[in-house]
Amino acid sequence: MPMDEFDYDALYEYITSSRDTTLVDMAKEHGASYVGSTSSMTAVLSHFHFLLSSWRPVNIDMLSTQYAAQFRSFTAITRAPAGIFLRYKGDGVYAIDADKMYDTNETVLSWLVLSIIACLTNRAAQWRKC
């Protein structure tokens, strides 16, 4: 959907795992120890991959040879330090929140993610397209 057709004011506020009471209650109900989201864990899981693979170069053999000389490393932003917070929510449940200390601005990507979530959870009934 073109950016100028999307109503960004209609988006719900992003709720971190530790503030999502429904998620925490479901974890307690089902005996889970941790709750989180892909956005809260992706950067840290990427770093686990980097460490376990000994910072193996990116394999782009399946791409065009045009890229062969360029992209053999992960981007600087991907390699930047990452952290998470484990927040105890009671009854043995911990919520995983990403450390967003230095994320001061909304990005087009974050808006895109929120718009996709809205479409998938049927919160976008008033929008012309989803």
SS (H, E, C) 64-83: CHHHCCCCCCCCHHHHCCCC
pTM of the entire predicted model = 0.68
Residue 113: per-residue pLDDT:
72
Residue 107: per-residue pLDDT:
65
**Residue of higher predicted confidence among 63 and 130:** 63
Buried b (16+ CB within 10 A) or exposed e, 85-98: eebebeeebbbbbb
Residue 34: per-residue pLDDT:
95
Residue 128: per-residue pLDDT:
47
Decide if pLDDT at 90 tops 50.
yes
Decide if pLDDT at 43 tops 70.
yes
Residue 101: per-residue pLDDT:
75
Highest mean pLDDT among 43-52, 69-78, 105-114: 43-52
Mean pLDDT of the 81-90 span: 93
What is the C-alpha to C-alpha distance for residues 124 and 130, in angstroms, rounded to an integer?
A: 7
Residue 27: per-residue pLDDT:
95
